[in-house]
Structure 1
Amino acid sequence: MRECARRVLSWLFCIILWSNVVPLPSGLADGNAVAWAAGPEANVTTMEPAPAMQPASAAAPAEADAGGTGIFSRAMQGGFIVFTCLLILLSMSVVTWAVLIAKYVYLQRLAKSGEAFTKSFWDSRSLNDLNSRLAEYPYSPVREVFRSGYAELVRGSQLLGQVASSEIAVNAALDNINRALAKSKMFERRRLEKFMSMLAISASACPFIGLFGTVWGIMGAFEGIAKTGSASLAAVAPGISEALVSTAFGLAAAIPAVVGYNIFSARVRYLVGSIDGFTADFLNIVERYLVSDKPRSSVGSAPTAAVQSPLDSRI
């Protein structure tokens, strides 16, 4: 059954191909079967060469050739609304790429400076020693968290030196230091997430802006069909292609924004995790210092010869 169907389809294909390649005699084409049956001699006078086929491009309107087929030519022909959508998408795409490049460089620099400061934190002889060299290190979130925590530790230790070092006073000092660290960490997280909202807006809004331009362009194409009364492919295709340019621009602007947002979100989470780890280590050191039974000296002042603060020993 399959072999028979295959042969029938092959014969039909050959017949159709032969009928398109070899033109019929003009006598048969005109229905003059008598002239064709009269013999080859009669056919010499009745048969005429088939008219040459005109290329499809020659039948197209002259104004279609003048318009151009490039993507920017299609964009210029899409109307005011479509062109406005394309301008918005182009602007958002430029802003998106600027944010992507700047954010990548910024996060890479913060990651390197944060790792360098954390290494110096553990290599320092004491918190006082690290604080005295704080200006030597470039900006990093962990450096700013350390600055805030150390400043609150100095104030807390000075207060504990003036009052009796009870458990309540020590817990109050620890709470103050913890709140200072949390505030600094929240501020640094906001700085890390700066301009991330722009990527989110581009990722979510650009496809819909492009879709709006496409729908509007298709509406204009159908309106043109209604005016001309022709629904052929030659009449429909230009308007639809002009409208689809808007969708292409929307996707071109949204895809880099989506990819960049996901990558940078993971990077920000990594940096925030490093800040959390540094905060926990700093609190552990401070708590060991505050609950120590040894006599305390002021953190910000030089220790006496008889008593050495734990902060002046190796971390």
Structure 2
Amino acid sequence: MNDTTVAPSRTALREADDLTSLGVTAAAAAVRNGDITSEDYTAALLQRARTLADLNAFITIDEAAVLASARAADKARAAGSTAPLLGVPIGVKDSYLTKGLATSLGLEGLAQFVPNEDADAVRAIKDAGATVFGKNNLVEMSYGLTGHNEHFGQVKNPHARDRMSGGSSSGSAASVAAKIVPASLGGDTVGSIRVPASFCGVVGFKPTTGRWLRNGVAPISHTLDSTGVFARSVEDCALVDQIVTGEKAAEHTVVGHDLKGVRLAFAPRQFLDLVDAEVDARFREVARRLHDAGAEVVEVDLGNDYNALVQTATWSIFAHETMGSISEFLPTTIFRPPSRRFT
């Protein structure tokens, strides 16, 4: 990023902080209603990205292109556009193809690779009016859960620089937690959304495998891979999910706090034995509130060998599919003739 701006005043900093605190839904509504401009909002996010550059959450940000897209969104709004994500900048994990913007997959050798097409999920958010803010740092090839990348550096946890951010969608989670972007697209095979969301304290949504289109995203396992999103609220994740899948918002069948007829199960021995006491207490408080709202909440035991079976099955699938998946993706997507590689 090129930093040629003058240091902002205290008032400007407070105003920028108010803007960067907006979530996806709130920011989109504010732009549509004319309460803020996309250009001002985007400029505030870019300033925050510069201020928090030490987090190493992004590999690539094209500031000029991002601001140009924001200005175009403001013109579209003035012309009557009501696109659901109009003028909202969103981060994208650098395993997604992005037309005209470098896509490295976390590999030094691909740092200059510029695709001539977008991944399907990126195309969907663009069609909804969103701007690609930048490409988030990630574990190399998405193979890891810590957030470390030998070539582009460790993504730091915005809450404590000496703590891990989690991975492999490390930069995506950290940038959302740090309020650099209101949301970021990520990916999950064996925890790459869930782990960094937990470590960074944001909402990570891993859709059921196959719910989101995965075309144009570097694969690991066609059985286990899932593209998804990080945001700071469930509402924002739901909005992005509707955009990517093309589904309308689900009709709410729950009236008020009445969950009568809803049956929920959880397995404490398999999933709660190792969590901190505070986490356990918060989880059980939520279960109690669901029960009080009318839901039937049932404790189940999945058996002594459940975790071992899950581990064996997961890593066996991973090992069997990963070589074929990435070997097919790299030649067909990246190593094309030069006339088709670059825009």
Give the TM-score band, short-chain normalised. under 0.3
Greater relative contact order structure (CA < 8 Å, 6+ sep) = 1
Query: With structure 2 as the length reference, what TM-score do the two structures score?
Result: 0.19
Query: With structure 1 as the length reference, what TM-score do the two structures score?
Result: 0.20
Q: Which protein shows a greater Rg? A: 1
